[in-house]
Amino acid sequence: MPVAARRRVLVVGIDGVRLDTLRRLDTPHLDALAAAGFLAPLVVEPGTPTMSGPCWATIVTGVTVDKHAVWSNDFSGNRLAVFPDFTTRLREAGRRTYVAAAWEPLMTVANGGPLFRGPGRVSYVAPASDDCEGWEEADELVTAEAVRVLAEDDPEASFVYLGAVDETAHILGCGEEYERAVVRADERLGRLLAAVRDRAAHAEEAWTFIVVTDHGHRDEGGHGGRSERERTAWIVCAGPDVPAGARVGGLRHQDVAAQVFASLDCPADSHWTLDGRPFAAEPQAVLLDMDGTLVDTEALWWRTAREVAEGLGHRLTDADTSEVVGRCVKDTAVHLWRVSGTERPLDALVAELDTRFLAAVEGETLLLPGARELLGALGDMGIPTALVTASPRPVVESVLKLLGAESFQVTVTADDTDRTKPHPEPYLAAARSLGVDPAGCLAVEDSPAGIAAAEAAGCLVAVVPSLVPVEGAPGRRVLTGLQELVELLEAGRAPRGSE
């Protein structure tokens, strides 16, 4: 049984980066994360001052200002003991956490702090001077220390704060020097990412990266008002549960902490009364298996294989399941030919399986519960959909009379690729035909062979087991049925892995 990858989260907070500036600049490390996941704007909520204190408190606690009570850059009177930051909550739950920053209220009792009340480990570097040069030097030292900890230690959840960009905007406005500060912050982000990649245990780990800013700036520098540029912030996220090119909407600062808990498979306690929720990443496309997933033909296929096997003097048992369920006709015929020791030609077995199965499908196929609702929901949401099956084209054409051929932009059958499930080629072909990255696709499957194909193609997988029990895993979520998937999609909570 493969060991599940150890989950880790790194949140990097870059203070005061305007979205329009970010989109204009060459920031290769942020761009790479966005390409691997998403870059999404957000708007600071009407009741939240566009100041660093309130915004960062919302980001790291997962609750809004009326709960954490940080209303300005003076944190006095806060309720952080009741609504602590995610590093403190996780440390209290026995997780290893780490924070690195240079802004006093985040780390010390200055101005009513600290925001981070009890992480497992901290790196604090006070700026030598409260100017652009002092903050650049502090960010450099913070980054160097965080690189060392990330490379040598094993924090499960980390937060690294970079403040020089914001300080530069306050002093010099949002001109060329401000843009250079943003580029330098991106370079520091790149060093943090490299430290993670170079970890000795990196191959056994599954990292989620979140980069977030707190607010924007006016052209002349400064913030605290309600202009669009001041209220516009953004989040970049990439990780094992986030499809490349994911479409997300309605993000809020309080969602960051909720996503940290979800990425660590650490469900938020309802008593915490978080206001945030994990990021709702809508898949670029949904790739649907047919037999046993949308229609009840998996049982018909097993019955067909059993009847043919009995004619050969062989009785199918659970030991045969992996060679029959989710497999194409030829694979099953080869298996029956081998285990029965028959002298019948292989082509004759293929033909008999084909004929018997098609007759059963045409006479007995029924939609599985939730299939019609799922196809309708995907159509209403405008999500491209493909049918990806190991069944031959004649069987698929028969089933499409029930499902509605118009529900699918693409159909990939056993006749359409050189290799079929459990090989990834059918899923790769479907994604290619839809013009999307397989990593941005959600595959819906029921059998181990189909799951293996989808995961080898790089898809996230939602499983609705039929004949064979299936366990959850990173990038794979086991559902109770198709109706649960409908509810998750309509709630903006597409499956992102084991939960």
Give pLDDT tens digits for 52-61: 999 999 999 9
Q: CB-based contacts of 449: which residues, under 8 Å, 6+ apart? A: 322, 325, 326, 327, 390, 421, 422
Q: What is the mean pLDDT of the chain?
A: 91
Kindly give the residue spans of alpha helices, DSSP state H, lying in 43-154.
52-61, 65-68, 86-92, 104-107, 132-152
Q: Is the bond into 114 cis (omega within 30 degrees of 0)?
A: yes
Q: CB-based contacts of 163: which residues, under 8 Å, 6+ apart? A: 15, 101, 102, 103, 135, 138, 139
Average pLDDT over residues 166-194: 98
CA distance 9 to 259: 9
pLDDT at 268 over 60: yes
Neighbour order of strands in the sheet with 38-43: 38-43, 232-238, 205-212, 6-14, 157-162, 97-101, 121-124
Give pLDDT, residue 342: 82
HSE-CB of 81 using CA atoms within 13 angstroms: 4
Helix axes 132-152, 176-197, angle to 10 degrees: 10
95-129, pLDDT tens digit by residue? 999 999 999 999 999 999 999 999 999 999 999 99
**Using 50, 70 and 90 to split pLDDT, how confident is the model at 256?**
very high
Q: CB-based contacts of 288: which residues, under 8 Å, 6+ apart? A: 294, 374, 385, 386, 387, 388, 408, 443, 444
Average pLDDT over residues 147-153: 96
**Using 50, 70 and 90 to split pLDDT, how confident is the model at 361?**
confident
Give pLDDT, residue 134: 98
Average pLDDT over residues 436-442: 86
| CB distance 78 to 69 below 8 Å | yes
151-163, pLDDT tens digit by residue? 999 999 999 999 9
In this structure, the number of other CB atoms found within 10 A of the CB of residue 152 comes to 10
332-353, pLDDT tens digit by residue? 888 888 888 887 888 888 788 8
pLDDT at 150 over 50: yes
Average pLDDT over residues 135-150: 98
| CB distance 299 to 468 below 8 Å | no
220-240, pLDDT tens digit by residue? 999 999 999 999 999 999 998
Average pLDDT over residues 312-316: 83
Is the sign of the CA dihedral 418, 419, 421, 424 positive or negative?
negative
More confident residue, 432 or 5: 432
Helix (H) or strand (E) holding 287: strand 285-288
Q: How far is CA 153 from the centre of its chain?
A: 25
Q: Which residues are catalytic?
A: 289, 291
- The token pair at 9 is 């989260």
Give pLDDT, residue 379: 94
pLDDT at 402 over 90: no
**Using 50, 70 and 90 to split pLDDT, how confident is the model at 357?**
confident
287-300, pLDDT tens digit by residue? 999 988 998 877 77
- The token pair at 167 is 């300080």
Give pLDDT, residue 493: 66
Helix (H) or strand (E) holding 432: helix 425-434
- The token pair at 428 is 């790769």
Helix (H) or strand (E) holding 167: helix 164-172
Q: CB-based contacts of 376: which residues, under 8 Å, 6+ apart? A: none
Kindly give the residue spans of alpha helices, DSSP state H, lying in 223-345.
228-231, 255-263, 297-311, 321-324, 329-340
Average pLDDT over residues 135-149: 98
**Using 50, 70 and 90 to split pLDDT, how confident is the model at 2?**
very low
CA distance 129 to 102: 12
pLDDT at 1 over 50: no
In this structure, the number of other CB atoms found within 10 A of the CB of residue 364 comes to 12
Nearest CA to 444 out of 383, 398, 393 is that of: 383
Looking at this protein, which amino acid is placed at residue 473? A
Share of the chain above pLDDT 70, in %: 97
Give pLDDT, residue 53: 98
Share of the chain above pLDDT 90, in %: 68
In this structure, the number of other CB atoms found within 10 A of the CB of residue 2 comes to 5
**Using 50, 70 and 90 to split pLDDT, how confident is the model at 314?**
confident
In the chain, the N- to C-terminal Cα span, in Å, equals 19
Give pLDDT, residue 3: 54
In the chain, helix, strand, coil percent, each to 5? Answer: 45, 15, 40
